Amino acid sequence: MKSGLSKRLEGLRSIGLGQALSWTLPIWAVLIAFLVGSVIIAGAGANPIQAYAALFRGAVGNGGLVATTLVKSIPLMLAGLSVVLAYRASVFNIGGEGQIYMGALFAVWGGTLLHLPAGVHLPIVLALGMVGGFLWSAIPGYLKAARGFNEVIVTIFMNYIAVAIVSYLVHGPMRESGWNYQSRAVDESARLPIILPGTSLHLGLVVALAAAVLAHILLFHTTLGYRLRMVGFNAEAARYAGVKVTLITVLAMALSGALAGLAGAVEIAGVQFRLLEGFSPGWGFDAIAVALVGQLHPAGVLLAALFFGALRTGANSMQTAVGLPMVVVQVIQGLTVLFMMIGAAVQHYGLWRPARREK
């Protein structure tokens, strides 16, 4: 039984994966999104050129801002890679948000309950974050592979559960006495060091880049990646060729969750240090957009995440310079994804109607 939503997602997948899309497509999508965005900005009574100039300056105007852009991109990179990994195996992981929360929760436990020497503590905390995401997403993975549940529905609902669990914990058991609703901070030894002195840029960037390289190697240079992609394209053929489809499906979802969990752990160890209610501004969802704009390629995801990170950073100064609210940036973000989809569909079907040709 497939819901309408998941059918539509599968439709998108067949557009995204079924054929190689032109690599220039995201660039066009961004340009058109900015063009249409300028109409909206003008409608809001501001000068689009001034607004975009402020946006640009605010994102990359000086070294500190570049660092901020990078920092904001890190969780998007990791969560975007997470989506790609699942997508490639034809699993739709909409549960990135929940997995980020679970990763963060595990990381905070490791960072506050364990007391280990520097150099050991941090890797363990990050690994715990991955374990949190892995376990949390293995549940929908198992339900899909072995019981035929729709993973889109299950992961969406599990997001609510994860957010509520974290919320309960910081209100109750994990609440730091005397303070607002937040947990204790993780040990110094569990924090990601700053790699550019005088800025907020932390080692998480290197972690994200390494994750992208590893994801690429996994997908295209290992037998596991071959199995994963084979199941993604055609599960029937994979079974015929001797691939254990159930196992691979669970594994794809769980590995995807591990990457999302790492995103949560890196954010804790690099920026926030403690668990707060609602600490993620929706990275798990933006990650889907990042993965699509990045054309489901690890390198593309890095670039797309940088773009989205820059938008978020630049939005602040756009707000102060021309008085436009933050949501304008979200509109541009949404438009980019929309034009990406339209472009993919046009490339797939032609502009007016399906082209018919002899098979």
Partner 1 sequence: MTTPPFLQIEEITKTFPGVVANDKVSFDVAAGEIHALLGENGAGKTTLVSTLYGLHRPDSGRIRLRGKEITLRSSRDAIALGIGMVHQHFMLVQPLTVAENIVLGMRSPREPLLSLGPASQEIERLSRTYGLEVDPAAQVWQLSVGMQQRVEIVKALYRGADLLILDEPTAVLTPQEIHELFNVLRRLKAEGHAVIFISHKLDEVMAISDRVTVLRDGRVVNTVATAGTDKAALARMMVGREVLFQFDKPPAQLGDAVLNVRDLCVMGNRRQMAVRDVSFDLRRGEILGVAGVDGNGQSELVEAIAGLRPAASGQISINGRALAAFQPSDLLDLNVAHIPQDRQRVGLVMDFSVSENLVARLFSLLPFARSGFLQWKAIRENADGRIKEFDIRAPNSEVKARSLSGGNQQKVILARELSRAPDLILASQPTRGLDVGATEFVEGRLLEQRARGAAIIYVSTELEEILSLSDRVMVLHRGEIMGMVRPGEVTEEEMGLMMAGEKRMTAQEKMEARQS
Residue with token string 């032609």: 350
Its sign, for the CA torsion 114, 252, 8, 148, is negative
Nearest-angstrom CA–CA distance, 345 and 335? 15
Binding test (CB under 8 A) with partner 1, winner from 117, 147, 242, 352: 242
Binding test (CB under 8 A) with partner 1, winner from 233, 272, 277, 303: 233
> Smaller CB distance to partner 1: residue 149 or 226?
226
**Residues in contact with partner 1, total (CB under 8 A)?**
28
Q: Is the CB of residue 198 less than 8 Å from the CB of residue 286?
A: no
The region of 106-114, 125-133, 146-154, 218-226 touching partner 1 under the rule CB under 8 A is: 218-226
Minimum CB–partner distance for residue 220 and partner 1 (Å):
8
38, 34, 47: which is closest to 321 by C-alpha?
47
Binding test (CB under 8 A) with partner 1, winner from 22, 62, 222, 320: 222
Residue 352 found at the interface with partner 1 (CB under 8 A): no
Nearest-angstrom CA–CA distance, 184 and 275? 8
Residue 239 found at the interface with partner 1 (CB under 8 A): yes
Binding test (CB under 8 A) with partner 1, winner from 117, 197, 223, 351: 223
Token couple for 239? 């079974």
Token couple for 275? 């668990």
DSSP 186: P
| Residue 24 CB-density burial (10 A; 0-12 exposed, 13-18 middle, 19+ buried) | exposed
| Residue 10 CB-density burial (10 A; 0-12 exposed, 13-18 middle, 19+ buried) | middle
Binding test (CB under 8 A) with partner 1, winner from 17, 53, 247, 271: 17
The region of 16-24, 139-147, 161-169, 177-185 touching partner 1 under the rule CB under 8 A is: 16-24
Residue 60 found at the interface with partner 1 (CB under 8 A): no
Binding test (CB under 8 A) with partner 1, winner from 3, 47, 234, 320: 234
Minimum CB–partner distance for residue 14 and partner 1 (Å):
9
Phi, psi (degrees; rounded to nearest 5) at 141: -60, -45
Binding test (CB under 8 A) with partner 1, winner from 2, 7, 11, 18: 18
The region of 74-82, 127-135, 193-201, 230-238 touching partner 1 under the rule CB under 8 A is: 230-238
> Smaller CB distance to partner 1: residue 42 or 346?
346
Residue 117 found at the interface with partner 1 (CB under 8 A): no
Residue 1 found at the interface with partner 1 (CB under 8 A): no
Nearest-angstrom CA–CA distance, 80 and 326? 22
Residue type for position 318: M
Q: Which residues contact 352 (CB under 8 A, 6 or more apart)?
A: none
Token couple for 45? 């009574």
> Smaller CB distance to partner 1: residue 57 or 239?
239
Binding test (CB under 8 A) with partner 1, winner from 57, 175, 184, 244: 244
> Smaller CB distance to partner 1: residue 147 or 359?
359
Binding test (CB under 8 A) with partner 1, winner from 224, 321, 331, 342: 224
18, 33, 4: which is closest to 289 by C-alpha?
33
Nearest-angstrom CA–CA distance, 285 and 308? 12
Residue type for position 309: G
Residue 326 found at the interface with partner 1 (CB under 8 A): no
Residue 226 found at the interface with partner 1 (CB under 8 A): yes
Residue 240 found at the interface with partner 1 (CB under 8 A): yes
Q: Is the CB of residue 158 less than 8 Å from the CB of residue 136?
A: yes
Minimum CB–partner distance for residue 271 and partner 1 (Å):
35
Which residues contact partner 1 by CB under 8 A? 17-19, 220-226, 229-230, 233-234, 236-244, 355-359
